[in-house]
């Protein structure tokens, strides 16, 4: 039995629905992990997998993570995730629309218990297509009454988490003059790098896409390889691209006292949290630090509607949550990961 098989058979989810799209022929998946605190929110992604079991595993894993992310941010939301499994046939504009409409039907089958949003492989324009077939979608453009691209809000939340981490590990929340390595200049990494530049931080940046080097030059940042950035002599390393970057090889090589970034699933496994502590590295749990996007969407879902001023206030409060996690970890003699998970589980149990 493979790891994927073991994961799929160990279900603690409320609902999982797999449907073959009648238009596109593509498999669509929605996994709802928990609605204990409210409607399950989680992005819908278009992605190609080696087999359908891996796609299902992704939906299960990510929906569970969304439950904890929403709970630790104290949002009245649960956790869910949607996946459209791409195949070898080219995704023409017409087939893409068909796939999105097929996914919208799967979303709609939950009758509001699951709300989808932008994710890997999808855009605000895609959300508009989905919204033509189901009302259970967020992250629409401001013109359509939504809150727009969530990426800048995620970046703002990570910045708040960085300030709190710097206060804890370096004695001051002021990021001016701090050296920060941003790994990944994508939808969140680039806005984060721009915010840090405005704060007066000294930047080292990396991306596997060499065309991003122009962005680095515009910021006055030093361009290096991702491997060099991870090992750089900086104050903060900010992983903002792929997950699993913190493992038994990279953690001992870290020269930064803080790791705080936007990437999901930064730990290769949960035991790496202990390894980081053993090496004196303060790690801001990713699902706490990168919750700005979902916090913003939470404002969009309020009965009174979206207000960017409220969103900014609540996203900045991620720093308060990070402080509580660090305090709880210190009081209990445990890792920030354990403290964050304890807080999330307690809130889910309380409903």
What pLDDT digit, counting tens, does each position of 68-94 carry? 999 999 999 999 999 999 999 999 999
Choose the weakest-confidence range: 97-111, 145-159, 175-189, 220-234.
Answer: 145-159
Integer CA distances (angstroms), 180 to 13, 65, 199, 327, in order: 38, 27, 11, 24
Which two three-digit tokens encode residue 71? 């709970």
pLDDT at 10: 56
Choose the weakest-confidence range: 113-127, 217-231, 269-283.
Answer: 113-127
Average pLDDT over residues 320-327: 98
Cβ atoms of 13 and 73 closer than 8 Å: no
Catalytic annotation present for 81: yes
Q: Which of residues 94 and 119 earns the better pLDDT score?
A: 94
Cβ atoms of 263 and 243 closer than 8 Å: yes
If DSSP codes are grouped into helix, strand and coil, which group holds residue 9?
helix
Q: Between 151-170 and 318-332, two packed helices, what is the crossing angle to 10 degrees?
A: 40
Average pLDDT over residues 192-209: 97
Integer CA distances (angstroms), 102 to 11, 22, 331, in order: 25, 7, 49
Nearest alpha carbon to residue 191 among 157, 222, 142, 229? 157
3 exposed, middle or buried (CB, 10 Å; 0-12, 13-18, 19+)?
A: exposed
Average pLDDT over residues 317-346: 98
pLDDT at 280 over 50: yes
pLDDT at 349 over 50: yes
Average pLDDT over residues 259-274: 95
Q: How far is CA 228 from the centre of its chain?
A: 24
Strand partners, 326: none
pLDDT at 4 over 80: no
pLDDT at 217: 95
Measured CA to CA, the distance from residue 94 to residue 124 in angstroms comes to: 17
Among residues 69, 81, 187, 194, the one annotated as catalytic is: 81
Confidence of residue 147 (pLDDT cuts 50, 70, 90): confident
Q: What is the mean pLDDT of the chain?
A: 93
pLDDT at 254 over 70: yes
Measured CA to CA, the distance from residue 293 to residue 297 in angstroms comes to: 6
pLDDT at 3 over 60: no
Measured CA to CA, the distance from residue 27 to residue 306 in angstroms comes to: 33
What are the strands, taking DSSP E only, across 108-253?
114-115, 179-183, 202-206, 222-223, 236-239
Is the C-alpha dihedral spanning 290, 296, 298, 301 positive or negative? negative
Cβ atoms of 299 and 314 closer than 8 Å: yes
Cα 88–90–94 angle (5° rounding)? Answer: 135
Average pLDDT over residues 206-227: 95
Measured CA to CA, the distance from residue 349 to residue 53 in angstroms comes to: 29
Measured CA to CA, the distance from residue 237 to residue 231 in angstroms comes to: 9
Integer CA distances (angstroms), 349 to 16, 64, 71, 199, 344, in order: 21, 14, 10, 39, 9
Cβ atoms of 72 and 321 closer than 8 Å: yes
Cβ atoms of 159 and 290 closer than 8 Å: no
pLDDT at 140: 82
pLDDT at 1 over 50: no
Is the C-alpha dihedral spanning 196, 200, 201, 207 positive or negative? positive
pLDDT by residue (tens digit) across 43-60?
999 999 999 999 999 999
Range picked from 21-30, 121-130, 138-147, 240-249 for highest mean pLDDT:
21-30
* Furthest C-alpha separation in the chain: 58
Residue 120: count of CB within 10 angstroms of its CB: 14
Cβ atoms of 48 and 78 closer than 8 Å: no
Confidence of residue 8 (pLDDT cuts 50, 70, 90): very low
Is the C-alpha dihedral spanning 56, 125, 66, 349 positive or negative? negative
pLDDT at 2: 39
Which two three-digit tokens encode residue 194? 């721009």
pLDDT at 306 over 70: yes
If DSSP codes are grouped into helix, strand and coil, which group holds residue 278?
helix
Cβ atoms of 114 and 107 closer than 8 Å: yes
pTM of the model: 0.90
Confidence of residue 351 (pLDDT cuts 50, 70, 90): confident
């Amino acid at each position: 039995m493979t790891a994927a098989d073991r994961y799929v058979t160990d279900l603690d989810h409320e609902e999982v629905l797999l449907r073959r799209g009648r238009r596109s022929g593509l498999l669509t998946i929605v996994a709802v992990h928990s609605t204990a605190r409210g409607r399950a929110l989680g992005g819908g992604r278009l992605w190609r997998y080696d087999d359908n079991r891996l796609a299902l595993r992704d939906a299960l894993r990510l929906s569970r993570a969304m439950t904890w992310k929403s709970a630790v941010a104290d949002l009245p939301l649960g956790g869910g995730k949607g996946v459209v499994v791409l195949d070898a046939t080219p995704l023409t504009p017409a087939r893409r629309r068909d796939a999105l409409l097929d996914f919208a039907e799967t979303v709609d089958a939950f009758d509001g218990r699951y709300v989808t949003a932008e994710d890997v492989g999808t855009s605000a324009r895609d959300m508009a297509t989905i919204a033509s077939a189901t009302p259970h979608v967020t992250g629409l453009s401001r013109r359509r009454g939504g809150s727009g691209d969530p990426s800048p809000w995620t970046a703002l939340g990570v910045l708040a988490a960085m300030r709190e981490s710097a206060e804890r590990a370096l004695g001051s929340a002021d990021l001016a003059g701090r050296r920060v390595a941003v790994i990944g200049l994508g939808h969140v990494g680039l806005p984060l790098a721009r915010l840090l530049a405005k704060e007066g931080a000294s930047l080292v940046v990396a991306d596997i896409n060499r065309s991003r080097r122009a962005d680095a030059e515009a910021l006055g940042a030093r361009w290096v390889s991702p491997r060099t950035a991870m090992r750089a002599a900086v104050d903060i390393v900010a992983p903002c691209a792929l997950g699993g970057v913190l493992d038994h090889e990279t953690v001992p090589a870290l020269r930064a006292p803080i790791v705080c970034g936007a990437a999901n699933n930064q730990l290769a496994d949960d035991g790496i949290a202990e390894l980081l502590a053993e090496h004196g590295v303060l790690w801001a749990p990713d699902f706490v630090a990168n919750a700005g996007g979902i916090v913003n969407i939470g404002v969009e879902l309020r009965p009174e509607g979206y207000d960017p001023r409220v969103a900014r206030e609540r996203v900045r409060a991620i720093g308060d949550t990070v402080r509580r996690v660090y305090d709880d970890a210190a009081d209990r003699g445990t890792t920030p990961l354990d403290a964050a998970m304890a807080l999330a589980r307690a809130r889910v149990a309380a409903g």
